[in-house]
Amino acid sequence: MKRRFIPGLMVLTVAGICLCLLAFKSGGNRMFQLAKNLDIFSAVVKELDLFYVDSIDANKMIREGIDEMLYGLDPYTVYYPEDDRDELDQMLKNSYGGIGSIISWNSKLDYSVINEPYEGMPADKAGLKAGDILLELDGKNLKGLGNEKVSEMLRGQIGTRFHLKVQRPGTKKPLEMEIVRGSIELPIIPYYTKMEQGVGYINLSTFSGKPSKEFRKAFLDLKKQGITSLVIDLRGNGGGLLDEAIEIANFFLPRGKVLVTTKGKSRQVSDTYKTQREPLDVEMPLAVLVSSATASSSEILAGSLQDLDRAVIIGTRTFGKGLVQTTRPLPYGGAMKLTTSKYYIPSGRCVQAIDYAHRNEDGSVGRIADSLTTVFHTAAGREVRDGGGILPDIVNEREKLPNILYYLTTDLVIFDYATQYCLQHPTIAAPEAFSLSDEEYEAFKAFVKEKDFKYDQQTEKMLKSLKELAQFEGYLETASAEFDALEQKLQHNLEHDLDYNARLIKEALCEEIVKRYYYQRGSIIEQLKEDADLKSALRVLTDPTEYRRILSVKEES
């Protein structure tokens, strides 16, 4: 018995040694190639510094090289030198030191302008208003500096003071004010409320910071008010911390449910995440609103609730980010946020929509085609797919915005009119009741005409292209009368376009105006007035039969 066993043992031993040698050789060669290329890179930089005809900025050149190298992997792997660590901290903690306002660049004025001060933040407390032109900061002229530079100057250590000079539309002399920088925490839940028929609504804007704590507080408050169902609005929520998404999902799912599995190159980034606590409510009907800007941790929450048949998902297909990033410390105070794994939600699918590892010949990437995705199943057996974000249970196509509205927004016509409107109206009705009268819309139309507003009409562009094509193919001469007649019909008519698109333009105007008085909360209330996704949610949540039907497997006839 022993003699027959020994040769087998020897074969296994020799095979093991050979495998170890091969692995060592493979790993050793890989490490050699890495060291070799690092030496070459270092030598190239040194040679350029010594002998290139002009002086080089080594910091700038190497930084650009690092950025290009990382972007070639995916857009989420990013290097943060010591000077930029605040940007990374803001992303993770949802806070920074500054004044708490969105600013925008006005190319016509060559100055930055206050776009939206956050409620209760230093900019708001100092009296800054949307439309204020930023002229000087501590005596330094801000003209021509660009938005990025001005934003950098406004930020700083919490508690530090600076002197700001602004020009407010409607006032002759510039205003001067002293502002103390504060800890700016962006609104995590800018709005929640109890709606008709006992439906609760929570708008969750981010998964950075501590959203689970705020969400829990808002949900329990709504339960005290007597809600019987809940809408969670994740539209525009670009994600944040994975743990926070799991914590919020746990509010509505039993303990011990697997929500996310991460898989990466190393064991330390591969893990399984389960619900750890007792839930707050496992029975209340839920609807989750999503959009193409719903990404990352938002998709984990929406996808987990869909895969476990716990909520009806409503809206448009989500972004499709199934990658997980981890921060790693680097020398000299730097850090790197790098993609370390993919995540898989309860059905086993990964929602990643773009395969960055397989690029086109020109280096571009595209979304994975639906035909190449795989079918998975929810806990109840409903079909769902991987590779393209979360497809809602109820899909509502977005209404296409008219061309004129795009130009009214980008050319700041709506913004400037809202500024003028606020100067003339110290107060307005509550957001729920506010609307523009026909007379006020006529005043807006007059304002647009006074601005000598110009914009491209898509019909004119298409007609011009068609005429060029007809001429190329030899048909223009025989069809010239028809083209002339059509050209007359499609002549630029500003009055017609403002009237024809009045509903959508009014909605944009109302949102911009209400935001000036009631901040982000008011803006959300205004948006929800004619919201197709919310209407779908209210219909489903107040119809138990329809709710159960959507979350069940369709019976074959």
Active centre residues (catalytic): 296, 307, 321
**What does the block give as tokens for 504?**
């959508």
Coil, strand or helix at 327: strand
What is the C-alpha separation between 263 and 448, in angstroms, rounded?
A: 55
Q: Is-contact 154 147, C-beta < 8 A? A: no
Which of 302, 303, 351, 347 has its CA nearest to residue 323? 351
**What does the block give as tokens for 435?**
């609307």
Q: Among all chains, which residue has been given the structure tokens 């957001």?
A: 431
Q: What are phi and psi of 200, to 5 degrees?
A: -90, 155
The helix (H) or strand (E) run that includes residue 518 is helix 502-528
Per the rule left: phi > 0, alpha: psi between -120 and 50, beta: everything else, 312 is beta
Q: How far is CA 535 from CA 14, 289, 530, in A?
A: 70, 11, 8
What is the C-alpha separation between 392 and 305, in angstroms, rounded?
A: 11
What is the C-alpha separation between 516 and 128, in angstroms, rounded?
A: 11
Per the rule left: phi > 0, alpha: psi between -120 and 50, beta: everything else, 389 is left
What is the C-alpha separation between 117 and 286, in angstroms, rounded?
A: 33
Per the rule left: phi > 0, alpha: psi between -120 and 50, beta: everything else, 198 is left
Indicate the residue type of 75: P
**What does the block give as tokens for 103?**
């600013």
Burial of 298 (0-12, 13-18, 19+ CB in 10 A): buried
What is the C-alpha separation between 367 and 365, in angstroms, rounded?
A: 7
**What does the block give as tokens for 93?**
């903690």
